[in-house]
């Protein structure tokens, strides 16, 4: 596993280096005549597959925009940066490029967006992101928009599912990050509300956290096992953390009657397949995008351009739509030299027919029609139910 991880990191770094020369030019310098979007994705680490999908979809969108005249005759450039799922890294990137960037986008790791939000508010810069799912994102800044759904909706789905399950004790193991902990808190709230309003016996919730970078969570898992939990919710920040949990649960045969996993786990086909016995019958949830001809056309274009299928379809489509929306906002505000307040107002009022369907934003700058769907794992694959 360790050698495979190093290989993935190396390939991601090579990918960043190879596309930088194409997108930024051989000198790596920005031309003041061009228009720039800085994209912050997790290109290395446990969510590198998210960054790979988001970056390639963004490249495809930028290439299409430039082939059709760019931004009112100016070339659109994409400045790809690896935030490594690290808030400090995201802040450093933002500070470095805020003076040369017309608008930002970001994918994954809610904590990175939350760290930048106060600076967006102060500077007036605009960020349109995806895969930012913690409820804390809602309304955090008038300049931060989310083309995704809140984890609160995922937790509501899980709570609804559990109403049909005969259980008394639910265990939660979670990573101490904004995303993973936010899901834990939302589920706790929903379960406890159901418990106090139901005529059945009250439910007990046992939660055990671990810090990012931990390689041993046995003590947390053993505590949950000793409590005799009927349901276990697994909420890691990355696939790397998820594998540590799965491996150590398997080691001492800990498999509660019902297992729930967050969307980082339900997206990880290789993990679900490797630990297929543990995850068989587990329930997950993911941001829902209804299939359509537009999506099938996008998938065909993506494969033709990169020689492979998109591994994270909803992330690919969300970031592709984000780039197209930002390009429209930039084109509409070219006359004011891309005034930040005008860019924000344009995105706030947009009603855009994207690959993922109609996109608009509510009072909290969340996508208006974003929903989650329940999934069930069977033979190493999570599919919609």
- Structure confidence at residue 195 (pLDDT): 56
Phi, psi of 256 (to 5 degrees): -65, 165
For the chain, give percent helix, strand, coil, nearest 5.
Answer: 50, 20, 30
* Angular region, 337: left φ>0, alpha ψ -120 to 50, beta rest: left
Provide DSSP, 40-81. EE--SSTTHHHHHHHHHHHHHHHHHHHHTTTBTTBPEEEEEE
Cα(74)–Cα(246) distance, integer angstroms: 50
Cα(93)–Cα(88) distance, integer angstroms: 9
- Structure confidence at residue 202 (pLDDT): 76
DSSP state of 296: H
The CA-CA-CA angle for residues 280, 264, 121, to 5°, reads: 160
Cα(330)–Cα(343) distance, integer angstroms: 7
Burial of 351 by CB count in 10 Å (0-12 exposed, 13-18 middle, 19+ buried)? exposed
Asked if domains 2-149+291-359 and 152-287 share a fold, the reply is yes
Contacts of 322 by beta carbon, 8 Å cutoff, 6+ apart: 58, 105, 128, 129, 130, 147
Query: Which residues partner with 206 through β-bridges?
Result: 171
Name the strand (E) or helix (H) holding 142: none
Cα(373)–Cα(181) distance, integer angstroms: 20
Q: Tens digit of pLDDT per residue, the chain (385 long)? A: 333 433 333 334 444 444 543 444 333 444 557 999 999 999 999 999 999 999 999 999 999 999 999 999 999 999 999 999 999 999 999 999 999 999 999 999 999 999 999 999 999 999 999 999 999 999 999 999 999 999 989 999 999 999 888 899 999 999 999 999 999 999 998 887 765 544 446 789 999 999 999 999 999 999 999 999 999 999 999 999 999 999 999 999 999 999 999 999 999 999 999 999 999 999 999 998 888 999 999 999 999 999 999 999 999 999 999 999 999 999 999 999 999 999 999 999 999 999 999 999 999 999 998 999 999 999 999 999 8
Q: Domain map of the chain by residue range?
A: 2-149+291-359, 152-287
- Of the candidates 112, 137, 128, the one whose C-alpha atom is nearest the C-alpha of residue 330 is 128
- Structure confidence at residue 194 (pLDDT): 66
Strands 258-261 and 231-235: parallel
Q: Look up the CATH architecture of domain 152-287.
A: 3-Layer(aba) Sandwich (3.40)
- Structure confidence at residue 190 (pLDDT): 87
Query: What's the whole-model pTM score?
Result: 0.86
Cα(369)–Cα(327) distance, integer angstroms: 22
- Structure confidence at residue 215 (pLDDT): 97
- Structure confidence at residue 191 (pLDDT): 82
CATH number of this structure's domain 2-149+291-359:
3.40.50.2300
Would you tell me the crossing angle of helices 48-67 and 293-306 to the nearest 10 degrees?
100
Token pair in block for residue 355? 């690959």
Token pair in block for residue 165? 């399950």
Name the strand (E) or helix (H) holding 328: helix 313-332
């Amino acid at each position: 596993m360790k050698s495979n991880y190093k290989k993935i990191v190396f390939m991601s770094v090579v990918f960043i280096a190879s596309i930088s020369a194409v997108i930024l030019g051989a000198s790596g310098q920005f031309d003041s005549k061009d228009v720039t979007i800085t994209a912050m994705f997790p290109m290395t680490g446990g969510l590198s597959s998210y960054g790979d999908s988001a970056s390639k979809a963004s490249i495809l969108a930028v290439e299409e925009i430039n082939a059709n005249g760019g931004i009112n005759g100016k070339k659109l450039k994409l400045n790809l940066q690896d935030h490594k799922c690290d808030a400090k890294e995201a802040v450093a990137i933002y500070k470095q490029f805020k003076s040369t960037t017309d608008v930002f986008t970001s994918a994954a790791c809610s904590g990175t967006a939350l760290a930048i939000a106060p600076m967006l508010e102060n500077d007036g810069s605009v960020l349109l992101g995806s895969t930012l799912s913690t409820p804390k994102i809602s309304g955090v800044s008038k300049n931060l928009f989310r083309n995704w759904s809140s984890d609160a909706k995922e937790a509501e789905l899980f709570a609804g599912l559990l109403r049909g399950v005969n259980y008394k004790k639910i265990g939660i193991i979670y990573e101490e990050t904004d995303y993973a902990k936010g899901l834990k808190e939302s589920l706790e709230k929903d379960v406890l509300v159901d418990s106090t309003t139901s005529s059945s016996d009250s439910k007990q919730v046992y939660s055990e956290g671990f810090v990012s970078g931990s390689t041993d969570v046995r003590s947390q898992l053993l505590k949950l096992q000793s409590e005799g939990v009927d349901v276990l919710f697994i909420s890691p920040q990355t696939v790397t953390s998820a594998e540590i949990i799965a491996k150590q649960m398997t080691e001492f045969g800990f498999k509660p009657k019902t297992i729930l996993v967050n969307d980082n786990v339900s997206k990880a086909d290789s993990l679900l397949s490797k630990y297929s016995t543990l995850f068989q019958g587990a329930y997950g949830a993911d941001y829902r995008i209804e299939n359509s001809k537009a999506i099938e056309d996008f998938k065909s274009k993506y494969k033709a351009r990169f020689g492979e299928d998109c591994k994270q379809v909803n992330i690919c489509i969300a970031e592709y739509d984000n780039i197209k929306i930002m390009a429209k906002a930039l084109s509409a505000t070219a006359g004011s030299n891309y005034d930040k307040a005008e860019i924000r107002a344009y995105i706030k009022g947009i009603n855009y027919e994207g690959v993922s369907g109609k996109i608009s934003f509510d009072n909290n700058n969340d996508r208006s029609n974003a929903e989650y769907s329940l999934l069930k794992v069977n033979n190493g694959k999570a599919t919609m139910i």
